Amino acid sequence: MSQRAMTGNSDPRAVRSRQALREAFLRAVQSQSPSEMTVAALARAAGISRTSFYEHFGSPEELAVDTLDELFTTISDIDITLRRAGSTTSPLEASRLAVQALVDFLGPRRTTYARLLGPGAAPTVYVAVSEAFVRHATDALSRTAYRPDGVDVALTARFLAGGVLKVLGIWLAEPAPRPSEEVVDALIACFPAWLTRT
């Protein structure tokens, strides 16, 4: 069975195994980058076999991307709901709430996510995480009720993903990080005007 198929497998045992692997990964990444992790160590920490690991993920890097992809899914769902037709939430408020949710999640887990998004992140992981962000941003933007005609959704999603992840990676790696509210304000100020109109 392919990794994609197993990742979508809703069998309770498969779900528990994936969750155990994510938790093992989040513990391990506090002291190691994904490129330094071994499948054997992650599987052992999750209480499963190496064979079971490969039924879900092809590598520790793939597990790293999956862990963040789940976060992006949650935030994208929030964004889509806030921006749909008939919503009373302004574009500015929707943008702020989505960015705030991301910052609020990453901030308390600074050490963990600095290794995935910061300046020292493994290039293969960073690129894969960026692509996951782009997919979710494209989906959210394509469903935005007030998107102007002629907007290139794919290009805008790539611009947002690149900028947001780079800024957050630098923020997470700062020895004396600035307040999260400043980071949110700075990111919102960079967004296209149609995404933040009041």
97/52 same-domain check: no
44/79 same-domain check: no
Close Cβ partners of 63 (under 8 Å, ≥ 6 residues apart)? 21, 22, 25, 34, 42, 56, 57
What's the pLDDT score for residue 85?
A: 67
What's the pLDDT score for residue 171?
A: 95
CATH label of the domain that carries residue 24:
1.10.10
178/96 same-domain check: yes
135 to 103, 132, 169, 180, 189: CA distances (angstroms): 19, 5, 19, 25, 22
117/54 same-domain check: no
Largest CA distance in the chain: 53
What's the pLDDT score for residue 182?
A: 95
- Please give the structure tokens belonging to residue 90: 């302004």
174/115 same-domain check: yes
Residue recorded with tokens 């408020």: 93
34/77 same-domain check: no
pLDDT band at 1 (very low <50, low <70, confident <90, very high): very low
Q: 151, 147, 153, 114: which is closest to 134 by C-alpha?
A: 153
Q: 127, 122, 106, 123: which is closest to 171 by C-alpha?
A: 106
Distance from C-alpha of 169 to C-alpha of 163, rounded to nearest angstrom = 10
What's the pLDDT score for residue 5?
A: 40
36/70 same-domain check: no
- Please give the structure tokens belonging to residue 89: 């939430």
54/118 same-domain check: no
The arithmetic mean of pLDDT across residues 134-160, rounded, is 90
- Summary mean pLDDT of the chain: 86
Q: What angle separates helix 180-190 from helix 153-173, to the nearest 10 degrees?
A: 160
Range of the domain at 69: 61-195
134 to 67, 130, 155, 163: CA distances (angstroms): 16, 6, 9, 11
